């Protein structure tokens, strides 16, 4: 059990530190947004507590839940979660993703300005940049409108991303959710999603962006995912 406790402590530190990246890249305001991570080999996840300001976050405040979003008290070796803290209001969505996408190790949600503006229009971000081909393998898709409170958002994320290379989805009228092999990868996807949302928006103010051929997009994605940096 001590190995599990060590793993939880390590992931808590990582998840806490990654929340600082959301503020660094100006992807969140006030207490909105969240990062979570799967605990490998266990039906557990770690996520930001609800309503705690970013400058007040510490590793010990990160909440441990099962994969249905229920906080886990711990065992005889000590408490895993502060009983006075509730997990993020988006926990059900994160948990649904982990239950249904076993290769996902991290999930991020933000209300970053440009990506959320596309979501407010219910409009996918077209793949008109080689960087989009590299990172997203095509268009960044839009997921269905869904309310917080149950699995609805999670279902929309999973249904949309299963049909796409993209690690990002724009949930209609809500904002972006991103996934990754780990929490850091999901944060990178959130940063890149906002960057391309902003760039494509600016491009459209100047005229109609030039599309990239589907075959070239696939080539860009394959090279970046399988060759670049190896």
Measured CA to CA, the distance from residue 150 to residue 224 in angstroms comes to: 36
Which of 1-10, 61-70, 106-115 bottoms out in mean pLDDT, i.e. has the lowest?
A: 1-10
Cβ–Cβ < 8 Å for 47, 63: yes
CA–CA distance, 69 with 203 (Å, rounded to integer): 40
Confidence of residue 2 (pLDDT cuts 50, 70, 90): confident
pLDDT at 19 over 90: yes
The 3-state secondary structure of 135-155, one letter per residue: HHCCCECEECCCCECECHHHH
Is residue 196 within 8 Å of residue 140, measured between CB atoms? yes
Q: Is the pLDDT of residue 190 over 60?
A: yes
pTM: 0.96
* Helix residue ranges per DSSP H, the chain: 2-24, 91-100, 113-121, 130-136, 152-161, 183-206, 214-226
Question: Is the pLDDT score of 103 beyond 60?
Answer: yes
pLDDT value at 182 more than 60: yes
Residue 63, CA atoms < 13 Å, CB-side half-sphere: 27
Indicate whether 1 pLDDT > 70: no
**CA 152/CA 169 separation, integer angstroms:** 14
Task: Quote the mean pLDDT of the chain.
Answer: 95
Closest of 181, 163, 157 to residue 109, by C-alpha: 157
Question: What pLDDT band is residue 86 in, cutting at 50, 70 and 90?
Answer: very high
- With a cut of 90, say whether residue 13 has pLDDT above it: yes
Instruction: Look at 112 and 148; give whichever has higher pLDDT.
Output: 112
Angle between helix axes 152-161 and 91-100 (nearest 10 degrees) is 40
Q: How far apart are CA 56 and CA 181, in angstroms?
A: 27
- Say which residue, 207 or 82, is predicted with more confidence: 207
Closest alpha carbon to 115 in 64, 189, 14? 189
pLDDT at residue 187, rounded to an integer? 98
pLDDT score at 229: 58
Mean pLDDT of 67-77: 79
């Amino acid at each position: 059990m001590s190995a599990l406790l060590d793993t939880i402590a390590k992931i808590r530190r990582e998840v806490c530190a990654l929340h600082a990246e959301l503020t660094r890249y100006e992807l969140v305001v006030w207490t909105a947004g969240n990062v979570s991570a799967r605990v490998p080999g266990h039906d557990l996840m770690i996520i930001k507590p609800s309503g705690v300001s970013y400058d007040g976050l510490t590793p010990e405040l990160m909440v441990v839940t099962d994969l249905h979003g229920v906080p886990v008290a711990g065992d005889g070796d000590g408490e895993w979660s502060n009983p006075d803290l509730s997990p993020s209001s988006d926990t059900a969505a994160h948990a649904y993703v982990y239950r249904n996408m076993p290769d996902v190790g991290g999930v991020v949600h933000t209300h970053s300005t440009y990506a959320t503006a596309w979501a407010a229009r219910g409009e996918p971000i077209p793949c008109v940049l080689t960087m989009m081909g590299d990172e997203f393998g095509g268009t960044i898709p839009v997921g269905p409108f869904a309310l917080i409170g149950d699995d609805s958002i999670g279902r929309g994320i999973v249904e949309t991303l299963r049909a796409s290379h993209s690690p990002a989805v724009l949930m209609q009228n809500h904002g972006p959710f991103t996934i990754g092999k780990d929490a850091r990868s999901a944060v990178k996807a959130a940063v890149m999603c906002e960057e391309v949302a902003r760039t494509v928006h600016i491009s459209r103010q100047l005229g109609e962006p030039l599309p990239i051929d589907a075959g070239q997009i696939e080539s860009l994605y394959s090279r970046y995912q399988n060759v670049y940096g190896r």
